[in-house]
Amino acid sequence: MPVPNSFPFPGTLAGHWNLSKEIVFLNHGSFGACPDDVLQYREMLLRRVEADPMEFLLEVHQPLRKELIARLESFTGAQPGSIVMVENATTGINTILRNLPVRRGDSILVTDQEYFSSANALKGLAYDLGLNLVKVEIPWPVEEDSVLDSFERSAVPGTRFALVDHVVSASGVVLPLDRIIKLLKEKGIETIVDGAHGPGQLHLELAELGCMAYTGNCHKWMGSPRSAAILYVRPDFQPGFRPLVISHLPGEIAYDASDYQLYFTWNGTPDPTPELAVSKSMDFMQGLLPGGWDQIRKRNRDLVLKARHIVSDVIGTDPPCPESMVGSMASVTLPGSPSFLGTTLHWMDPLQRELRNRYGIVVPVTRIRVGSVRLLRLSAQLYNSEDQYRYLADSLRDLCNW
């Protein structure tokens, strides 16, 4: 079946994005998608940099960066002086892990559904320093209380830290982070949060949350250009905390911010434009709906819950988690796959590739439990519409005879 010449209408705000009209894009969660107005703003910044690189990088970039960080601290409910910018959440997780005050033989909790790059970074740390990794098995299907039970059982003596997703990448499930952190804190365990999907998708109050550290991307749900991310470190863990690349040191230059922030202010010559466009993306996104970010989050959550219902009805599987664990992404458990598609992975599942090639649908097929459970992960952003998910469901029925 060739890719159709016409697709269902996208959301009414889709004109603000440059997404191709030859695809139905249902995968905002993987890499985000930047609105055109923000792209144009970044292009203007790029041209300003090249007009006078010295002036821009020394006199313009740093003041704007400080304003942005202050704004992000307010947006995420973080303490003043506790946020720095990094390229992406993977860099953030690696930075946190390499700053952990651990000793040989210490144990670190990590879930069996942790994002692969973060899990690999933790494995490398454990190998280098002689640490014990304790797997927390997330039950499937999942309920909040069963997640807490798994952490309770896994918190063995000698455990000092835990690496926990805020939103599980493979499934889009929002873990009960506040309850997990509280439970672990009572056992003397500090929590590191991989919040790659958090900023913009979920309301954050980092100071109240109580985690040791949190990192999350701005180029996913906040709509900024790639790559821009926040790295939050609780003030009592900031002494001695260093970036992966050292440049400036406290006392070398006048800097009206915390020593922690100074270490991260200039780590080699940067392209400053992705992070400097974050303020523009925040303003632009919140202006698209009268209720700003609260309405955006509600609209996207309502839409993805509808999408989950539409696709689940066709596939014939039950939702894998309650609505309370859904943000702007949701997954549907797949019953199998047509044999003609095969099972070999080349960066993506064969079903994912076939949906793109035959129907023009961009949606990820993910796996958990070492591949034994396959999921269709849905995302909902302001450019999406209910009709697009109905088209996905019809395409699945046509392709798989479900």
CA 27/CA 382 separation, integer angstroms: 12
Quick: pLDDT tens for 28-39. Answer: 999 999 999 999
User: What is the residue-averaged pLDDT of the chain?
Assistant: 93
Dihedral pair phi/psi, residue 198, rounded to 5°: -75, -60
The per-residue pLDDT for 237 is 97
| Closest by CA position to 118, among listed 273, 20, 223, 229 | 229
Mean of pLDDT values over 296-312: 98
Domains of the chain by start residue, with CATH: 14-26+289-400 (3.90.1150.10), 40-285 (3.40.640.10)
Q: Do the beta carbons of residue 35 and residue 284 sit within 8 Å?
A: yes
**268 — pLDDT class (breaks 50, 70, 90):** confident
Of the chain, the percentage scoring pLDDT greater than 90 comes to 85
Task: Report the predicted TM-score, pTM, of the whole model to 2 decimal places.
Answer: 0.94
Instruction: Please state which of the ranges 72-86, 220-234, 360-374 shows the lowest mean pLDDT.
Output: 360-374
- Which token pair is 55? 């002036």
Stretch (H or E) spanning 379 = strand 373-379
The per-residue pLDDT for 370 is 60
**342 — pLDDT class (breaks 50, 70, 90):** low
- Which token pair is 400? 């798989």
